[in-house]
Structure 1
Amino acid sequence: MVVPALVDAADGEPTWSVFAVSAAGVFCVSLLGVVALRDPVPIFTPRFGFLLTTMLWIVAGFVTAIPFWLSPLNMSVGGGFFEAMSGITTTGATVLSELDAMPRSFLLWRAMLQWLGGIGIIAIGLFLFPFLRIGGMQVFRNENSDRSDKALPRLVSVTRALCFIYLFISVACAIAYAALGMSFFDAICHAMSTVSTGGFSTHDRSFGFFEDRRILWAAVVFMCLGALPFVAYVDLAVRGRFTIWRDWQVRTFMCGITFFSIVLAFWLAHNRNIGFQEALTQSAFNVVSVVTTTGFASDDYAVWGPFAWGAFFILTFIGGCSGSTTGGIKVYRFIIVFQALRRAFTKLVYPNAVQPLRFGDKMIEQDVYDSVVIYFIAFFLVYGLTILMLSLAGQDFITALTGTQTALTNVGPGLGETIGPAGNFAPLGEFELWLLSFLMLLGRLEIMTVLILFTPVFWRD
């Protein structure tokens, strides 16, 4: 919070006091907590991991919302928490408008939240979720997630490499943006939002503000880098092994975004009478932005026609690779479900055939398959119930449908006139904002991490 305060002080903005007071208050409370709670941390168990992870993100949401509540932006309590939770979960949905005239401190604060949230979810995804054995993440368990005596030193070294890689990609992204014509401030803010696949921009028009095709393609590259498994970057940096392309989910992800980008480019060129190069630039940028759950927009794709509507609606569910900064259902889950579907068809023809599920060259264990199926059940159960709740609150069907979808998958913009790429979530009421904030947390923490806290068995001694 000190960093935005210094930016405001340099700009001569009176809002520096907002961040200064927030920083002082958080520091004092945190210091009291450190002094008062010196007992040893409880022995790590899956139950403690669920509680710790969920509470960490909830508290972070309230703490990071303090500057919004104290600001002169006239944000409600629900609106401030929504903006903060959208930031740290790298969702990118916003209730703010007139960003171009806003003090730079708040624009920087939003970008910082997404950047910190991005590295936070990578760390949790790589090191905590495999222990908790939820959501199928254990299929990616490697030597860095064992419980041997050497686990801690290895964990420290991998974490150090992970943070360095994340910082390196972010700096490279900022340099690329600045070299292509962005201002220094815009380059830093958009680099943090791009690598974290967050989507907060410093302009109301998002990337449509930068009328340069090269900037859009640079964003495509760095959004893809943020959507790939960071454990593969660690392999490359620490062991010198280039294993990214061997991963099935990476190949599926790259082939999928290439296919949809080309198909939508032809559609766009035919229906809007623009050159194919321009159509390919627009389609590739927006497809990658939605699939990686970044949420940037270079154009209002809601007006591209019914086929584009359908395509983007489907793409919103997918997400990137596991161990990345992206949200969504994730590519590897679709691969496992497809393998199970193919095995079911084989069983119909050859009832006695033995066909194990495979993920590349790995056998998929039964508990991994079970966790993926349970995740899909929980996802669509929460999805359906939230649509009903938003409809009950008075929202139209498109807003309820895509608002639920974009919050649960951490994408950002929805579809329709209200929350589409050209709108925001400001017209929604307090109940809807709190509900969608909770939904963003659910999606970010793989749903089961949070839902387990609402079951009696979790609290039973």
Structure 2
Amino acid sequence: MNSLFKRKFGAGYRLIFGYVCLFMAFIGLIILLPLLIIAFFPNEWMCYKAFLVPGVGSLVIGLLMYLVLTKGVDKSQLGKHQDSVLLVSIWLSAVLIGALPFFLNQYFYPEIDSIKMNFSESFFESVSGFSAAGLTVFKNLLDGKVAYGLDTFCPHVYLFYRALTQFFGGIGLVLIVTSAVSDRYGMKLFYTEGHNDRLLPNLAKTAKVTFSIYCLIIALGSFALWLFGMDFFEALCHSISGMATGGFSTRSSGFYYFESSSYTGNGVFEYNPIGAEITTCCIMLLGATS
């Protein structure tokens, strides 16, 4: 009996580490996604190393470790209270790995002063994003000033990455992971985080529907903000931030910047403050009630 318990207990923790490694791979993908923004802002190419190194590293190491740790392990061997250990481990791995792009840039491209962040600041920004809190320690954002060849103090690739952390934090990190876990223990973990509802009986289908709804609202919100005169990149970032009910903005003064007399529009449409405010309020309400 003792031997059986030890085997099951050990297999359960192997499974926990395996799922954490699988989640590491997923975080690696999130870190790599902002590199697509460089195609639209090629003068920010020098930032790629701060995303490529931790992104590829997390993806490769995570997948390899997942395959090694879960090989021959019964996926239903999570023991009592081990779901809570998995939940805490998932959150810790998310915020620790997610802090690396903020932290590493000072070593790869130290000339950009606005992104020289020590690890505590990087960790704070990561926690704020993945928890959808929206507090920030960034010194300067998009303020229309020139710094080392960039037309902004903070490169767009970092602004988009911050928005992405809020997106995945708002949609629910655990919902994403549990969609890859066996249904029985996936639901147990889902409820452990405090959720008590699901759209569909199958958790994987629930994750897909939730993800689709979030993306649709963000797309419609971004388009509406663009029609009301906001630059499309900033419209996208604010739509994501609003849907996550967070506070990350592309501007140091937040949404107030667009109310100033210096901002007239996106070059296609004049800025309509009332329309933009109502649209953002609707996005936040939908995010808060989802």
Bin of the TM-score, shorter chain as denominator length: 0.5 to 0.7
- Residues 372-410 of structure 1, C-alpha deviations (whole Å, 9 max, x = no match): xxxxxxxxxxxxxxxxxxxxxxxxxxxxxxxxxxxxxxx
Q: CA deviation at 1:11?
A: 2.1
CA distance in 1, matches of 2:54, 2:173: 24
CA contact (8 A) 1:4 1:16 kept: no
CA contact (8 A) 2:84 2:189 kept: no
Q: CA deviation at 1:213?
A: 2.5
- Residues 285-342 of structure 1, C-alpha deviations (whole Å, 9 max, x = no match): xxxxxxxxxxxxxxxxxxxxxxxxxxxxxxxxxxxxxxxxxxxxxxxxxxxxxxxxxx
Q: What corresponds to 1:99 in structure 2?
A: 141
**Which one of the candidate residues 268, 275, 282 is aligned to 1:221?**
282
The 1:217/1:82 distance shift into structure 2, 3 A limit, reads same
The 1:103/1:23 distance shift into structure 2, 3 A limit, reads same
Aligned: 1:15 with 2:47: yes
CA distance in 2, matches of 1:74, 1:50: 35
- Residues 266-301 of structure 1, C-alpha deviations (whole Å, 9 max, x = no match): xxxxxxxxxxxxxxxxxxxxxxxxxxxxxxxxxxxx
TM-score normalized with structure 1 length: 0.44
CA contact (8 A) 1:107 1:202 kept: yes
Q: What corresponds to 2:165 in structure 1?
A: 113
CA distance in 2, matches of 1:225, 1:165: 10
The 1:130/1:82 distance shift into structure 2, 3 A limit, reads closer
Q: What corresponds to 1:311 in structure 2?
A: none
- Whose Rg is larger? 1
Residues 231-270 of structure 1: pairs in structure 2 closer than 5 A = none
The 1:174/1:127 distance shift into structure 2, 3 A limit, reads farther
CA distance in 2, matches of 1:143, 1:217: 28
CA distance in 2, matches of 1:32, 1:130: 25
The 1:162/1:128 distance shift into structure 2, 3 A limit, reads farther
The 1:122/1:42 distance shift into structure 2, 3 A limit, reads closer
CA contact (8 A) 1:177 1:187 kept: yes
CA distance in 1, matches of 2:188, 2:225: 34
Q: CA deviation at 1:127?
A: 4.8
Aligned: 1:175 with 2:212: no
Partner SS state of residue 174, structure 1:
helix
**Which one of the candidate residues 188, 191, 205 is aligned to 2:236?**
188
CA distance in 2, matches of 1:105, 1:29: 24
CA distance in 1, matches of 2:233, 2:35: 15
CA contact (8 A) 1:5 1:17 kept: no
Q: What corresponds to 2:85 in structure 1?
A: 51
**Which one of the candidate residues 28, 34, 57 is aligned to 2:66?**
34
- Residues 187-232 of structure 1, C-alpha deviations (whole Å, 9 max, x = no match): 111111110112111100110011212211211111011011x3xx
CA distance in 2, matches of 1:156, 1:188: 27
CA distance in 2, matches of 1:122, 1:55: 11
Q: What corresponds to 1:161 in structure 2?
A: 209
Q: What corresponds to 1:397 in structure 2?
A: none
Q: CA deviation at 1:70?
A: 0.5
Q: CA deviation at 1:143?
A: 8.9
The 1:143/1:18 distance shift into structure 2, 3 A limit, reads closer
| Letter of the structure 2 residue corresponding to residue 215 of structure 1 | A
Partner SS state of residue 99, structure 2:
helix
Q: CA deviation at 1:130?
A: 7.0
Q: CA deviation at 1:128?
A: 4.7
Partner SS state of residue 172, structure 2:
helix
Q: C-alpha root-mean-square deviation of aligned residues, in Å?
A: 2.6
**Which one of the candidate residues 4, 17, 35 is aligned to 1:5?**
35
The 1:42/1:128 distance shift into structure 2, 3 A limit, reads closer
CA distance in 2, matches of 1:224, 1:181: 21
Q: CA deviation at 1:46?
A: 5.7
The 1:214/1:46 distance shift into structure 2, 3 A limit, reads farther
- Residues 26-75 of structure 1, C-alpha deviations (whole Å, 9 max, x = no match): 12221321232123335345612211111101101011111011113211
CA distance in 2, matches of 1:48, 1:87: 26
Q: What corresponds to 1:24 in structure 2?
A: 56
Residues 242-391 of structure 1: pairs in structure 2 closer than 5 A = none
Q: CA deviation at 1:129?
A: 6.6
| Letter of the structure 2 residue corresponding to residue 75 of structure 1 | M
CA contact (8 A) 1:177 1:215 kept: yes
Partner SS state of residue 92, structure 1:
coil
Q: What corresponds to 1:337 in structure 2?
A: none
CA distance in 2, matches of 1:198, 1:15: 25
Identity over aligned pairs, percent: 29
The 1:122/1:56 distance shift into structure 2, 3 A limit, reads closer
| Letter of the structure 1 residue corresponding to residue 37 of structure 2 | V
Stretches of structure 2 that go unaligned for 5 or more consecutive residues are 1-30, 107-114, 143-152, 179-185, 260-272
